[in-house]
A and B are shown apart, each in its own frame.
Chain A
Amino acid sequence: MTKTLLPHLVTESAARVPDRPAVVMDGRSLSYAELERQSNRLARSLLGHGVRPGDRVALWLPRSIESVVALYGVMKAGAAYVPVDPGAPPARLAYIARDCAVSGLVTVAERAAALEETFAAGAPMRALWLAEEGATAAAPCVAGLPNVPWAEVGAESHAAPESRTLEGDLAYILYTSGSTGEPKGVMLSHRNALAFVEWAGDVFQVTHEDRLANHAPFHFDLSTFDLFAGARAGAAVYPLSPRIASFPAAVARQWSRDQLTVWYATPSTLVLMLTRGGLASLDLSALRVLLFAGEVFPIKYLRDLMRLAPHARYANLYGPTETNVCTWLEVAKPPEDDRPLPIGRACPYDEVLVLDETLKPVPAGGSGELWVRGATVMRGYWGRPERTALALQRIEIASGVTDLAYRTGDLVRMQTDGNLEFLGRRDHQVKTRGYRVELGEIETVLHRHPAVDEAVVLAIPDDEVTHRLRAVVVTKTEAALDEAALRQHCAESLPRYMVPESIEFRRELPRTSSGKVDRRALVQSQAS
């Protein structure tokens, strides 16, 4: 099978530019030839321990050079990688491992030791791989599973295992917040990813001379551009060290010092680098392309950024995890007024439709819900046919022509110039620091606490991080519960960015005339 899939982007660059750096991090680097060999070895090790093509393998480890080897190794074994937020608690990993029945886990010894014996119950788990140099001593075994140290992986043959993967097979599954209280796995194929990666690589002219920042963690789809458009071009990818990731001033200095040429990050990240990171005093002459996605960019900050590096290209990319990037807008010059940036036009591999509630196209200038069809649209949600059927619907796209399209839940207006304007959500999904959060998922977790009677989570708009999360809770009579204990309860099953920053206790919640909780009144009462 000669078709190029995601891992073959590395294979091809290893043939073309074997000695160029593929991954550079913390003063270490791995060339394309080495990345190719190491990922082949891991693939052989996975297959040797019983992982089969078509399986899922979870990644739960701090970002490292080995974590990049791991995701290519998993795909070379014909399996799909399932990146789990490294900051998420073990309970969330266990849920995901069970949910999509992973057959392997790539982690590090310290984390393996923190896992409960039962974490993989219900998953056909074959082994744990410890992706770190020097981890030769086996950590305590979890449920009797073998721990495969990195040295054992290194002893495998570096010849590529035979590929039995087709372009429609799954490359990765990304778990996103689910409104019913449980995260859902978005299934994406090699073809889905490649459609975006090939287009983005071409339109932003990524070459082997480029140095790409990798700020987004691997469970966030922004990382697919950094990793795969980088590999396709034979460029160097610079994954951000977990040590500095939370320090805007450290990130800004490092990117300037490393002379990174392509940055792709959320507006929250870029705004913090601008407001707290001292970007204005740094050398940005190497910056060539700056891409952002995931939330609305406050215009005053975008304008400041564009003035600091006027020589760079800027583009706003839009798309939910289910479609990856589906529309884009190149920002040619600093916007003159403060109106939010449009999300632009469809990328050439997708088509966007603005439909009313009866699924009829809205006339130009009108507003409706955004639907997307085309090459990057997901295969569905893992193990959730009903949710998939609601999200992917066969609709008429032209007279007598139907196709599966993804219903985004985003309300948009088609402007007269053909650009789409983002108006808001039709549900309670919000963004915080670029992460997509279903307020309902947090509320479900709060309700699980025995002392909680009612709970509402509010997203309070914030200039720097888009929204801050605040919970308003009514406890059961007589129940004693403090804020710290309840936040701790949340942290046991939610990733850190979903834990409410503050919790307010009230005796009752304001109601609308129909008896529903009055969210608007609650949000207004917070705006002081």
Chain B
Amino acid sequence: MTATETAIHEFLVNEVLYDRDVKDLKPEDPLIARGLLDSLSILKTVTFCEEKFGITIPDQDVLPDHFESVQAIAALVDRRRGGA
């Protein structure tokens, strides 16, 4: 996992996903298809990423394609940071 992925993974597992079966969540595992994210979880995740990485995520970027997996969220964050 990249550093961004690790931070997001840790946040999701500890703060958002209280279900039993996410301990082995891999960065590419589907979040939406498994029904793991509700609207409040997404708001929390956006706020976390904005504060942790010092970026802003515009509302129009908060779309299913960008929250498909830990990997997808990390890619969105890295784009907003002007990185790779």
| Chain A residues in the interface with B (C-beta under 8 A) | 62, 86-87, 242-250, 272, 276-278, 433, 465, 468, 484, 487-488, 490-492, 496-497, 499, 501
Contact = CB atoms under 8 A, between A and B. Distances in A.
Contact of A244 (B33, B41, B64): B64
B25 interface: no
A247 B38 contact: no
Closest 4 CB pairs of A and B: A487-B18, A246-B39, A491-B18, A488-B18
Contacts of B43: 276
A278 B60 contact: yes
Contacts of A278: 59-60
A272 B38 CA distance: 13
A250 B64 contact: yes
Interface of B: 14, 18-20, 32-33, 35, 37-44, 59-60, 62-64, 67
Contact of A501 (B14, B20, B40): B40
A527 B33 CA distance: 36
B20 A87 contact: no
B42 A86 contact: no
Nearest to A502: B15
A247 B42 contact: yes
A278 B18 CA distance: 30
A492 B20 contact: yes
Contact of B39 (A248, A468, A484, A487): A248
Contacts of B60: 249, 278
Given A248-B59, A491-B18, 12 more contacts: A62-B35, A242-B35, A243-B64, A246-B37, A247-B62, A247-B67, A277-B59, A278-B59, A278-B60, A488-B18, A491-B20, A499-B18
Given A243-B64, A246-B41, A249-B62, A491 B19 contact: yes
Given A490-B18, A491-B19, A87 B38 contact: yes
A249 B38 contact: no
A17 B62 CA distance: 39
B5 to A, nearest CB: 20
A322 to B, nearest CB: 26
25 contacts: A87-B35, A87-B38, A242-B35, A246-B38, A247-B42, A247-B62, A247-B63, A249-B59, A249-B60, A249-B63, A250-B64, A272-B39, A276-B59, A276-B62, A278-B60, A433-B39, A468-B40, A484-B14, A484-B18, A487-B18, A488-B18, A492-B20, A496-B38, A497-B38, A501-B44
A86 B60 CA distance: 27
A465 B40 contact: yes
A482 B63 CA distance: 32
Nearest to A89: B19
B35 to A, nearest CB: 6
Nearest to A269: B39
Nearest to A241: B64
A243 B38 contact: no
A433 B42 CA distance: 14
B38 to A, nearest CB: 5
Nearest to A432: B40
Contacts of A496: 38
Contacts of A468: 40
Contacts of B67: 247
Nearest to A485: B18
Residue of B20, B44, B59 contacting most chain A CB atoms (<10 Å): B59
Contact of B64 (A247, A465, A501): A247
Contacts of B44: 501
B28 to A, nearest CB: 17
Nearest to A244: B64
A273 to B, nearest CB: 10
Contacts of A247: 39, 42, 62-64, 67
Contacts of B32: 243, 246
Nearest to B43: A276
A203 to B, nearest CB: 30
Nearest to A469: B40
Nearest to A268: B39
A470 to B, nearest CB: 13
A487 B42 CA distance: 17
